[in-house]
Chain A
């Protein structure tokens, strides 16, 4: 497996904010790489750099051995890009948007008919082909945008938060499409702020404040978590979170309807039981759990702060 996308020590600043800071990442041919980070982590800057839409302060990027900065014209025909913001023509219909991109990519005549059928096949947008893009639901919009980006059968897909603002069902369908594309040999770099999507990728890269925190397989990344983790079955009010964090050796964090409590590897939960009982947290409400991707991410992120 070759490094199809190779990002080498790139940096890009906006005035005094380092949007991307000495960032390196390699994506192999035919894999799905998830780029994970909160808003403002630098995901979009990275995507835009990959599309040669912004200049780099330093470092270089190659796609299939071609320099993004110098040989982008040769990269274009094999690149499919879907920006974060919906950027199709809202006043054109589904079919007209597809036709337009077909024209741009020189997919004409019967080749277009065939391609359109394939794209409609997975997007299920055919019944809506006369509807204007403006009037589509969030999920349908993203499927249309993906269809347009796939018109020319690209080898590499760059998707910037494609599932943001999309309902869970459509999100799952969207990932089904990505997995099928992977089977067809497409290399995919997809950014997302959602941990639950990461599990479906081959590998994930955590990014925060423009820096890479770590990268690895989704099922291996939680192993990086240091310490022991417990689930507290109690309502995470801000006072209880504050109280818990004031205890030396403990870190508490809201997690869904409860809390995650973290302590050092060599520590013991028994040592804190008296103080926890005082906060109305009996043993019965505390149980050890295996750390997940999010716990791992947050721990790595907090070290950066």
Chain B
């Protein structure tokens, strides 16, 4: 039986490495994804165009405007034009935010009353708006501090841990690792099994003395190995090229990737059971990947989603693995920190895999 298993695995690798397109997919996809997400998807917010409507025209108001331009977060445009242009500027995208300083700003400041300023943002770019508003709150706060002799009763301190510069590539690489592992294993597993069914080799194998479970393991091990290889490529490129820090233990990451793999392999196996052509299998794998990526917190934080959607994300096994990769890479999390995620993955792995394997052996018995 060992011979048969070895033969199956060897055959699968020969097939993969003989298929040029498959090779490109396996080895170039991680690099291209990394470059795309590393350079194109940039969620760092800098140079926010800020229209300034200063009706006070005092040294204090000018000082506030000056403060916004520090650190390059904002590019203030001092406007003397009428307030009604505000919306036009949003619409032609010449400004992202506007600040309105009322005429009594400095007067109230001197009398130690609370002056009100208005901050208006273009919500069509929700992400930069949220971050820009945060910056502005910080700037205004430190500005105000200078005009009160006592500290304000409530003090807000913004501190970003683990990724202080909020570099998006640091955040993206762990996401890509989780996504690649999921996509490659689900897609390759389902397609490879369906191909055997299409060509008729699966039926041929069923008439041979090979045991169903040996056949199953022999089909899955090669894709588990390829999946882990993907991680190595993505991580190496991420660490060497983008200098993404890797704080935690790579061994723990690989061990947990191995644990997680059982779930996408099971899903791929399931898709191969319910489809009869490679094309169908690929569509299933593709739809699943879109769902998995969108509900994993890869692009949008899960906490930003509506509550019912947040519940749905619990169904996505990739969500937990994404958390694990980020926690290990960026925060140096250890196994006890990840008990919940690991527990859920064990549960999903066992249930999804055994259901699919059962169905597979039923269909092939």
Contact = CB atoms under 8 A, between A and B. Distances in A.
Decide whether A and B assemble into one complex. yes
A102 B209 CA distance: 12
A83 B200 contact: yes
B14 A103 contact: no
B18 interface: yes
A106 B209 CA distance: 9
Interface of A: 51-53, 73, 76-77, 79, 81, 83, 85-92, 96, 99-106, 108
Nearest to B210: A104
B247 to A, nearest CB: 43
> Nearest 7 pairs between A and B by C-beta?
A103-B7, A87-B200, A76-B209, A81-B207, A87-B204, A85-B200, A51-B207
A153 B10 CA distance: 23
B203 A99 contact: no
A96 B203 contact: no
Interface residues of B, number: 23
A34 B65 CA distance: 96
B199 to A, nearest CB: 6
A89 B11 contact: yes
Contacts of B7: 99-100, 102-104
B87 interface: no
B208 A105 contact: yes
Contacts of B14: 91-92, 96
Contacts of B324: none
Given A100-B7, A103-B6, A106-B1, 9 more contacts: A73-B209, A83-B203, A89-B15, A91-B15, A92-B11, A96-B11, A96-B14, A101-B208, A104-B209
Given A76-B208, A87-B200, A106 B19 contact: no
B114 interface: no
Contacts of A77: 209
A104 B208 contact: yes
A294 B235 CA distance: 70
A274 B342 CA distance: 95
Given A89-B201, A96-B14, A106 B3 contact: yes
B204 A83 contact: yes
Contacts of A92: 11, 14-15
Contacts of B15: 89, 91-92
B4 interface: yes
A104 B205 contact: yes
A46 B10 CA distance: 34
Secondary structure dominating the interface of B: helix
B269 interface: no
Contact of B8 (A52, A85, A103): A103
Nearest to B9: A103
A274 to B, nearest CB: 58
A99 B11 CA distance: 9
B345 to A, nearest CB: 33
B263 to A, nearest CB: 28
A109 B193 CA distance: 28
A103 B3 contact: yes
B110 interface: no
Nearest to B201: A87
Nearest to B199: A87
Nearest to A53: B203
A86 B200 CA distance: 7
A106 B203 contact: no
Interface in B98-133: none
B18 A87 contact: no
A88 B11 CA distance: 12
Given A85-B200, A96-B14, A104-B4, A76 B207 contact: yes
B229 interface: no
Contact of B199 (A73, A76, A90): A90
B18 A91 contact: yes
A81 B201 CA distance: 12
A91 B19 contact: yes
Contacts of B8: 100, 103-104
Contacts of B4: 103-104, 106
Contacts of B19: 91
B206 interface: yes
A87 B195 CA distance: 11
A172 B208 CA distance: 28
A92 B14 CA distance: 8
Contacts of A102: 7
Contact of A81 (B1, B10, B204): B204
Interface in B1-50: 1, 3-4, 6-8, 10-11, 14-15, 18-19
Interface in B173-218: 199-201, 203-210
Contacts of A89: 11, 15, 199, 201
A73 B206 CA distance: 10
12 contacts: A53-B206, A76-B207, A81-B204, A83-B204, A92-B11, A100-B11, A101-B208, A102-B7, A103-B6, A104-B4, A104-B7, A106-B4
B201 A108 contact: no
A77 B209 CA distance: 6
B60 to A, nearest CB: 76
A103 B208 CA distance: 11
A86 B199 CA distance: 8
